[in-house]
Amino acid sequence: MKIVPNFDNSSDDGLLRWGFEEWDRLRERYDAFGSDRVPGRTAWVLMRYADVHAAFQDPCLFSSRYQKPFLNEESLHQWIPVETDPPEHTKYRQAMNPHFAPHRIAAMEDDIRTTCRESLEVVARRGGCEFMDDFAMRFPTSVFLNMIGLPSSDTGTFLGWEQQLMHNDAKTDPHGKLRQEAMQSIYEYLDAVIAERRSSPGDDILSDLTRSEIDGRPLNHNELREMSFMLYMAGLDTTASTLGFALLHLARNEEHRSLVRNDETMVPPFVEEVLRLYSIVSTGRVVTRDADFAGCRMKAGDRVLVATGPANRDPRQFENADRFNPYRDPNRHIAFGAGPHRCIGSHLARAELRVALEEWHRVIPEYRLAEGTDIRWRPGGIAALDRLPLVWD
């Protein structure tokens, strides 16, 4: 049995230093392996496309109840719908899906574009920015607030909580106190908004959800708060991180920069290739029964890390898998997962990424990495660049 002692994707030194290339090495060396990080059970790490795809499509063998395979603690919360399983999951998705369907997102596009221009206006004047903080986080946060009908003046508050929640680790926050506090603040904020939307609904997604039903009854308060928290968590860092990898790639590649700048029809396939080559999400599952899977002897109660990063760079699935090819066709990547838990926000994410690339290049057509920049990867469930300093003339 292949065991990598104490492996944890959020603190692994190789991933921290080498990012996606380290995932490639791990995948080619092991196919799949186990970690003994948490005593008493094994956390299996799936990296090949076929294995990751099969795991996503099998919610009976792989439950979504706990998302963090390397944490030895159980959350008091159950985020909806990500931490539920069929048949409950199916009902929640049926209630939520219409609000994230393509025609709903298309109707929001003008607002998304306006929000993007506002976020850009601030940085464009400067001649340089720290892309992650100054634009990549700010833009999706403002879109999210807009979607749930809140003023974008609250963006700073939300970003502060996000920072406190996502960017603390065992060193900076050994007992998880800061993270707990941030989570508490977010829940309290959302509680107030949900109560308000119930009494005076608007035309935002949260109001729509207060009117949604499952099993012939309206969603209750707890369901609504777990859903809105999930939307907050899933919608901000993911889009921000992907934008970071897109701009890093473009800053280093003049040919692709001019392609994206000069031909907006190339933006959607460019976005797909960014999603494939820089797939940031590694999610978790719980093994429900003893099974041999991906060459691993799994036991009921074991955990699984399902890593889309190495899966979407698997040479068994993609030709020249580690090369960026904006003309790649077909591009059957699973950056948004697959199976019943396929990312509900994928149409929104694609719209945000496309609009951001279009608008950025209209305002800032030429740019480069600031000299002496040390690019560092922040590994974890949502991998991201730590910083991305860009400059332009």
Of 2, 17, 25, 332, the one binding another protein by CB under 8 A: 332
Compute how many residues bind another protein; rule: CB under 8 A.
23
Part in contact with another protein (CB under 8 A); list of ranges 21-29, 95-103, 146-154, 374-382: 95-103
Of 2, 289, 299, 342, the one binding another protein by CB under 8 A: 342
The DSSP secondary-structure symbol of 132 reads I
97 binds another protein per the rule CB under 8 A? yes
The terminus-to-terminus CA distance of the chain in angstroms comes to: 55
- Give the ranges where the chain is alpha helix by DSSP (H): 13-18, 20-30, 49-56, 88-100, 102-124, 131, 138-147, 155-166, 177-199, 205-210, 221-252, 254-262, 267-277, 308-311, 346-363
Residue placing its CB nearer to another protein in the complex, 95 or 390: 95
346 binds another protein per the rule CB under 8 A? yes
CB of residue 328 vs another protein: minimum separation in angstroms? 10
- Write out the binding residues for another protein, residues 290-329 only, by CB under 8 A: 329
Part in contact with another protein (CB under 8 A); list of ranges 123-131, 159-167, 199-207, 334-342: 334-342
Whether residue 335 contacts residue 308, with contact meaning beta carbons closer than 8 Å, is answered with: yes
176 binds another protein per the rule CB under 8 A? no
Would you tell me how many other CB atoms lie within 10 Å of the CB of residue 90?
15
Residue placing its CB nearer to another protein in the complex, 253 or 331: 331
Whether residue 299 contacts residue 290, with contact meaning beta carbons closer than 8 Å, is answered with: yes
Whether residue 278 contacts residue 375, with contact meaning beta carbons closer than 8 Å, is answered with: no
- Write out the binding residues for another protein, residues 18-57 only, by CB under 8 A: 53, 57
Residue placing its CB nearer to another protein in the complex, 185 or 346: 346
333 binds another protein per the rule CB under 8 A? yes
Of 94, 172, 184, 222, the one binding another protein by CB under 8 A: 94
Compute the distance between CA of residue 272 and CA of residue 277 in angstroms, rounded to an integer. 9
Would you tell me how many other CB atoms lie within 10 Å of the CB of residue 311?
29
Would you tell me how many other CB atoms lie within 10 Å of the CB of residue 324?
15
- Write out the binding residues for another protein, residues 347-376 only, by CB under 8 A: 347
CB of residue 214 vs another protein: minimum separation in angstroms? 14
Beta bridge pairs of residue 365: none
CB of residue 10 vs another protein: minimum separation in angstroms? 26
258 binds another protein per the rule CB under 8 A? no
Residue 19, amino acid: G
Q: Could you give the maximum distance between any two Cα atoms of the chain, in Å?
A: 60
Give the binding site for another protein (CB under 8 A). Answer: 53, 57, 94, 97-98, 100-103, 268, 329-334, 336, 338-340, 342, 346-347
